[in-house]
């Protein structure tokens, strides 16, 4: 049977994906600096082998034959998703994939060194090379998929996303936030004037912060028999569902920075660890795009981790691990702190979407050729001044060099972050309708009912449905940004 042949072949492809994922996670966390060149060569070679296996001509024949076979509902869904995945894989020749993989890896390795030195001029040639390859990829994909080049890139991260649909939503959100950020800051200033906050004094030993993070990960549901926590330049969730690698970065002066990173990445990890294991080797068994993935991480970080009820439960843990006693009134001004800042990953949930919208607009122009890498510092600075009244003109390390995405060639990814924030708020609203006592559960450390809802509605469904369908099935309605703006107004408004 052709379906059986596909099943066997996908097990082999999964093994290559496993190796690439673990090598990539190790490269970003534990690999010695001198190992970079050979690691890039090894991963480039494996990526080429993977691509050839994933684009083998016989797969098309097996798919066509399997469509004529008698399959159950799950098998039919698996075949549909494989067909979509195969078309996207066959857009690119193996030679291009190898060339692009090695360029991305060397660019990312260079970025880690030169960002710390604020050396834009030294990094620019590598970024220009990556962008040239991204434009080439976009054109190759667009020609096959019949999409706009930027849409063809977004399709790889979140199937169904289209810039023409996203841009108006982002424009509306941008308009709201440019007015709401000053309001939230004024409310915060008024509250602090009445009750000056207790500072995060530090120093907070990294080993104690790590133990605190591990305790919260375990309570929320992270399975340590299938995952681990490390340190990296940029927090991420990598590895594979049976061995999820999450990372954070620590500041000895502020335990919340690393802790929120841990909670965010734990949200990603919970999604991966709870995907249906029987379909792990099929595209059907993968997470449903990056917007949904971000909704899962932001759900944990924002809806749970910044919820006052959560901190009623969490504060004794803070005292246990860090040796400090905090009251809810003392910690919430830090947990809900709003501040215009340069760094996206450190941004609060009010200002964060403006960071994403800025990148979305710039990378659309980069892919289309309306903007070149050499002009990024000025273009970035202009938008940063407009959206957040800040300047990065003499500080590219905290401007266009701050994220790993562009050095690594990940264009079309950024919209998922803010789409995910909207979806997370909508999921929390739906969950609260079914479980009105969810906040009381958080205050008492009862996380399982929340996890059960997410497991049933999101995690177990994997890629069975499109992102819009999955969200509507889970929440009972199509994506509505009003849930997100209502959440912000309730938590940060007057």
Q: What distances in angstroms separate CA 481 from CA 25, 63, 100, 174, 273, one per listed residue? A: 34, 38, 36, 12, 28
Active site residue 98: no
Helical residues (DSSP H) of 195-254, grouped into ranges: 206-220
H or E stretch at 127: helix 120-145
Determine the Cα–Cα distance for residues 479 and 424; give it in Å rounded to an integer: 10
Residues 6 or more apart from 414 whose CB is under 8 A from it? Answer: 356, 359, 360, 363, 405
Please give the sequence-ordered ranges of beta strands (E in DSSP) within 59-207, or none if there are none. Answer: none
* Catalytic option among 27, 98, 155, 265: 265
H or E stretch at 361: helix 352-368
Rg of the Cα atoms in the chain: 22
Q: How many residues does the chain have?
A: 494
Determine the Cα–Cα distance for residues 381 and 386; give it in Å rounded to an integer: 9
Residues 6 or more apart from 485 whose CB is under 8 A from it? Answer: 173, 176, 180
Which residues make beta-bridge pairs with 247? 230
**Other CB atoms closer than 10 Å to residue 459's CB: what's the count?**
20
- Going by the DSSP 8-state scheme, the letter that residue 390 receives in this structure is -
CA 114 to chain centre: 24
Looking up tokens 């909508």, which residue turns up?
A: 426
- Name the CA dihedral angle for 167, 168, 172, 173, rounded to a multiple of 10 degrees: -30
H or E stretch at 238: strand 237-240
165: region left, alpha or beta (phi > 0 left; psi from -120 to 50 alpha)? alpha
Q: What distances in angstroms separate CA 118 from CA 106, 111, 133, 362, 388, one per listed residue? A: 18, 10, 24, 20, 22
Q: What distances in angstroms separate CA 282 from CA 3, 96, 106, 233, 288, one per listed residue? A: 12, 24, 30, 31, 12
What residues are annotated to the active site?
265
């Amino acid at each position: 049977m052709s379906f059986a042949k596909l099943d066997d072949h996908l097990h082999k492809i999964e093994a290559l994906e496993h190796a690439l994922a673990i090598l990539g996670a190790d490269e970003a966390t534990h690999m010695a600096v001198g190992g970079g060149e050979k690691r890039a060569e090894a991963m480039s070679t494996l990526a080429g082998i993977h691509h050839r296996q994933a684009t083998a001509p016989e797969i098309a024949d097996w798919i066509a034959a399997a469509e004529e076979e008698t399959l159950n509902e799950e098998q039919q869904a698996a075949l549909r998703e494989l067909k979509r995945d195969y078309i996207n894989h066959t857009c690119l020749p193996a030679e291009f994939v190898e060339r692009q993989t090695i360029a991305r890896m060397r660019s990312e390795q260079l970025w880690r060194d030169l960002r710390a030195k604020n050396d834009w001029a030294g990094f620019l040639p590598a970024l220009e090379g990556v962008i040239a390859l991204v434009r080439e990829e976009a054109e190759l994909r667009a020609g096959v998929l019949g999409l706009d080049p930027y849409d063809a890139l977004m399709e790889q991260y979140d199937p169904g996303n289209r810039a023409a649909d996203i841009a108006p939503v982002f424009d509306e959100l941008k308009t709201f936030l440019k007015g709401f950020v000053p309001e939230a800051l004024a409310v915060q200033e008024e509250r602090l004037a009445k009750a000056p906050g207790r500072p995060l004094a530090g120093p907070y030993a990294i080993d104690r912060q790590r133990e605190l993070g591990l305790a919260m990960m375990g309570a929320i549901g992270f399975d340590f028999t299938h995952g681990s926590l490390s340190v990296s330049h940029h927090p991420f969730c990598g590895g594979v569902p049976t061995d999820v690698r999450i990372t954070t970065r620590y500041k000895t002066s502020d335990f919340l920075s690393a802790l929120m990173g841990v909670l965010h990445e734990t949200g990603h990890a919970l999604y991966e660890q709870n995907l249906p294991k029987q379909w792990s080797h099929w595209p059907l068994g993968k997470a449903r795009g990056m917007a949904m993935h971000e909704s899962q991480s932001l759900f944990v970080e924002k809806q749970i981790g910044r919820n006052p009820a959560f901190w009623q439960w969490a504060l004794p843990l803070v005292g246990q691990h860090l040796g400090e006693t905090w009251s809810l009134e003392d910690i919430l001004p830090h947990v809900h702190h709003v501040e215009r800042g340069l760094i996206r990953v450190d941004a609060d949930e009010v200002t964060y979407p403006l960071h994403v919208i800025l990148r979305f607009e710039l990378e659309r122009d980069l892919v289309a050729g309306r903007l070149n890498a050499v002009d990024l510092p000025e273009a970035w600075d202009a938008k940063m001044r407009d959206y957040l009244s800040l300047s990065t003109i003499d500080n590219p390390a905290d401007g266009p060099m701050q994220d790993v995405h562009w050095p690594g060639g990940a264009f079309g990814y950024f919209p998922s972050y803010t789409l995910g924030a909207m979806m997370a708020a909508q999921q929390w609203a739906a969950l609260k309708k079914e479980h009105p006592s969810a906040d009381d559960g958080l205050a008492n450390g009862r996380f399982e009912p929340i996890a059960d809802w997410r497991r049933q509605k999101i995690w177990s469904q994997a890629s069975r449905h499109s992102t819009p369908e999955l969200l509507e099935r889970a929440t009972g309605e199509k994506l509505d940004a009003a849930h997100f703006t209502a959440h912000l107004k309730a938590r940060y408004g007057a």
